[in-house]
Structures are given as structure tokens and as C-alpha cells.
Structure 1
Amino acid sequence: MKILMVCLGNICRSPLAEGIMKAKVPQDFLVDSVGTISQHEGEHPDKRAVKTAANHGIDISKQRSRPITQADIENFDKIYCMDIDIYEDVISKAKNEEQRQKISLFLTAAGEHKTAEVPDPYWGDMKDFEEVFQLLDKGCEAIAAQLKSSSNP
């Protein structure tokens, strides 16, 4: 199973989601993260995201930001977008219905309200990063349970 987490710059939400999900799924699952823009390409996650993850025993410090590619849409089994704008951007890159079916809003996939979005903590403080971590942790738990049960019928 190949899982892709997507946010805007790939320095806050999706790196956190990647790190959390890696801790919740079997090691044979591939989990990665990307952004829809290339502004931060090659950069490590935001220091506040790294610190928040570390506070929970998860190391995301070695991750590097990269923009989403067409190959990502073709090769990943599940693509989780952090908000509506990201979702619409990624869906617009899908070439067919099969690819569109792989793409969903993260919180919708986790069983939350259909319009629920993971807020971007970038302009906030450590409290905002912790709130996003908790939201992602709960969502990753739900998604990981779904994925593990569907891969072990």
C-alpha cells in the first residue's frame, strides 16, 4: 500500500501526517508527503512541525519538501489532501476516474464531516501545531485501521 499526504508547501501538515501515519501502519506500507507548490522544494519541515512531532516521539527532521508530480498520482494507492483547495488542485491533475478515486480529503477519509479541513498552522504558534498534530493523529489512526483491515481480508 502506497499512501501520499498532500498540503500546500509540504513543510507543516503533510510532513506531520507522513510521520504520524508511518508510526501507525505496517512497515511494508510506503508513506510519503508532497506539496502542491514548489516554493519550499528541498527544505526540511518547519521547525515547529519538527518539534511538535518530536514531542510525540516521531522524527520528521530528515524529510524534504517536494512538489506533487503526475507520477505520484499514477503510482500511489491513496492520496490524502489536507484541505479543499489542495484537493481541487490534486483532482485537476488526475487523468482519469481511476486516479480521481484515489484522491480524498484527509478528514473525510478519516470519517469526519465532508467539509472538514486540516487548518494550516504555518501562520500560528506552537499551540496551533499541537492542535493540528492531534487532529492528524486521530485521523491517521482511523485511516490506518481502515487500510489495515482492507489489506487483510
Structure 2
Amino acid sequence: MKILMVCLGNICRSPLAEGILRSKLPDSFLVDSVGTISMHEGETPDKRAVKTAANHGIDISKQKSRPLHVSDFDKFDRIYCMDLKNLEDVISLTKNEEQRQKVHLFLEEAGNHQNSEVPDPYWGDMKDFEDVFQLLDSACNKISHQLQQHAITNKIG
């Protein structure tokens, strides 16, 4: 199974979500992340995101930002967006209902309230990054369980 995490610039939230979810899933799952903009293309995650992840034993330092490509809708089975604007931007690029069905609001899929968004810590400090990490970690626990159950039920990896 192939999972894609999406935020705005692919340097804070989605790299953290990618690293956290990857740490909770077997190697048979592919987890990647992208941004809805290309402003940071080729850059590593924000140093505060890297440090926060490292504080929890997760290395995201080698990830590289890239923008969402239309081909991602064919490549990935699930696409998780960090906020409503990301969700709207991603849905606007889908070509059909099959692609649309792959796109979800991350926290909503994790069982949080409807329209729940992962706050962008970019303009904040280390505490904001830690708060986002904790939110993502809790949600990734739920989502990793759901994905593994889905893979078992549908006999996919």
C-alpha cells in the first residue's frame, strides 16, 4: 500500500507525518510526502522539524521537498492532507471520482472531529513543532492500525 502525506511546502507537517507513519508501518508500505506548492522543491525539511523528529528517534533529515504531481493520484492508494486548504487544492487536481476517493483530511481519518486541521508550525517555535509532532503521532497510531487492518482484509502490503 502506498500512502502520501500533503501539506503546503512539504518542509514541516508532511515530512513529520511521513516519518512518524513510516516508523509505525511494516516495510511493505510506502510512505511519501509532498507539498501543494513547489517553493521549497529539493530542500530538506525545516531544521526544527528534523530536530523534533530526531528527539523521538525518527530521522527525516534526508527527505527532500517536492510538489504534488498529477501522476501521484495513480501511484498512491491514500492521500492525506494536513489542512482544509491542502484538501481543497489536492481535490481540485483530481480527474475522476476514483482519484477523489483517495484524498482525505488526515485528522478526520484518524477519528478526530470533522474538519480538524494540523496547525502549521512554520511561524512558531520548537514548542509548536513538538505539539504538532504529538498530534501527528497520536493520529498516526490510529491510521497505521487502520491501514494494516485494510491491508490484511484486502491481502495487500
Q: TM-score under structure 2 normalisation?
A: 0.97
**1:104 corresponds to which residue?**
104
**2:76 corresponds to which residue?**
76
1:33 lines up with 2:37 in the alignment: no
User: What is the RMSD of the two structures over their aligned residues, measured on CA atoms?
Assistant: 0.4
| Deviations, residues 51-101 of structure 1 (Å, cap 9, x unaligned) | 000000000000000000001112100000000000000000000000000
Amino acid at match of 1:144: S
Q: Counterparts of 1:115 and 1:36 in 2: how far apart (Å)? A: 18
| Deviations, residues 107-150 of structure 1 (Å, cap 9, x unaligned) | 00100011100000000000000000000001111000001011
**1:124 corresponds to which residue?**
124
Gaps of 5+ in 2: none
Amino acid at match of 1:83: D
Q: State the shift of 1:46 in Å.
A: 0.1
Amino acid at match of 1:11: I
**2:147 corresponds to which residue?**
147
Amino acid at match of 1:81: C
Secondary structure of the residue that 2:101 maps to in structure 1? helix
Amino acid at match of 2:56: H
1:54 lines up with 2:39 in the alignment: no
| Deviations, residues 13-71 of structure 1 (Å, cap 9, x unaligned) | 00000000000011010000000000000000000000000000000000000000001
Q: Counterparts of 2:148 and 2:74 in 1: how far apart (Å)? A: 22
Q: Deviating runs (4+, > 3 A) in structure 1?
A: none
Q: State the shift of 1:8 in Å.
A: 0.1
**Size of the alignment, in residue pairs?**
153
Q: Counterparts of 2:79 and 2:10 in 1: how far apart (Å)? A: 14
